[in-house]
Amino acid sequence: MTTATAIADTAIASDLDALHELNHNYVRSVEQSDVRWFDQNLAADFLNSNPDGTLVDRAGFLEQIAKKSLVTNIAESDVRIVLRGDFAFIHALTTYTKPNGEQGRGRYTDVWWKRNHRWLCVSSHVTRA
Q: Where are the domains of the chain?
A: 3-128
pTM of the model: 0.88
pLDDT 10s digit of each residue in the chain, 129 long? Answer: 665 444 445 667 899 999 999 999 999 999 999 999 999 999 999 999 999 999 999 999 999 999 988 999 999 999 999 999 999 999 999 999 999 999 999 999 999 999 999 999 999 999 998
How much is the pLDDT for 12?
72
How much is the pLDDT for 6?
45
How much is the pLDDT for 56?
98
Architecture of domain 3-128: Roll (3.10)
Contact 91, 80 (CB under 8 A): yes
Burial class for 19, CB neighbours closer than 10 Å (0-12, 13-18, 19+): buried
